[in-house]
């Protein structure tokens, strides 16, 4: 498993709330730190993908597990 510095559980939230939670978490950590986000919104990977690409952050690992999507994102 990947080590992370901050975990955000956005389970049960619909767009755009998971993305807003991710953005807030990214702002709270220093460059190089890793944020773990758990989301149940099926479109979260699309929203997160666009944001990560535009902001230049690094997607370390993304996977599905028991109806949830789990994202490990390193802040640039």
- 45-55: pLDDT as tens digits: 999 999 999 99
Crossing angle for the helix pair 17-28 and 44-55, to the nearest 10 degrees: 40
Asked whether the predicted pLDDT for residue 1 surpasses 90, the reply is no
Which class does domain 6-74 fall in? alpha beta
Q: According to the model, what pLDDT value does residue 7 have?
A: 98
Beta carbons within 10 angstroms of residue 8's beta carbon? 20
Specify whether the CB–CB gap between 3 and 34 falls below 8 A: yes
Displacement of CA 69 from its chain's centroid (Å): 9
Q: pTM score > 0.85 for this model?
A: yes
Active centre residues (catalytic): 15
Q: Where are the domains of the chain?
A: 6-74
Tell me: pLDDT of 34 over 90: yes
């Amino acid at each position: 498993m990947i080590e992370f510095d901050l975990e955000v559980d956005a389970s049960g939230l619909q767009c755009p709330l998971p993305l807003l939670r991710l953005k807030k978490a990214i702002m709270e950590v220093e460059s190089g730190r890793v944020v773990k986000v758990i989301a149940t919104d099926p479109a979260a990977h699309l929203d997160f993908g666009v944001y990560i690409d535009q902001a230049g952050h690094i997607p370390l690992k993304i996977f599905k597990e028991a109806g949830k999507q789990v994202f490990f994102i390193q802040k640039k």
